[in-house]
Amino acid sequence: MNNKDSINQNYYRLPRLDQITDVGLYLEQTAKFINRYLIQFDQAELTTSMISNYVKLKLLPNPHKKQYSNIHIAILLFISLSKSVLSLDDIRFLLSFYKSDNDFITFYDDFCEKLEQTIHDIFNDGIVNLNTKEEDKLVDSLVLTIAQKIYLDKYIHLKRHS
Domain ranges of the chain: 3-125, 128-162
> In this predicted model, which residue has the larger pLDDT, 5 or 40?
40
> Distances from the Cα of 76 to the Cαs of 50, 72, 124, 127, in angstroms?
10, 6, 29, 28
Q: Could you report the per-residue pLDDT of 55-78, keeping only the tens digit for each?
A: 999 999 999 999 999 999 999 999
Q: Could you report the per-residue pLDDT of 105-124, keeping only the tens digit for each?
A: 999 999 999 999 888 887 77
pLDDT at 2: 46
The residues, any chain, with a CB within 8 Å of residue 64's CB and separated by 6 or more, are 24
**Least reliable range by pLDDT among 68-72, 81-85, 129-133:** 129-133
CB-count exposure of residue 7 (10 Å: 0-12, 13-18, 19+): middle
Residue 11's pLDDT band, with cuts at 50, 70 and 90, is confident
pLDDT at 22: 87
Residue 13's pLDDT band, with cuts at 50, 70 and 90, is very high
Rg (CA), the chain: 17
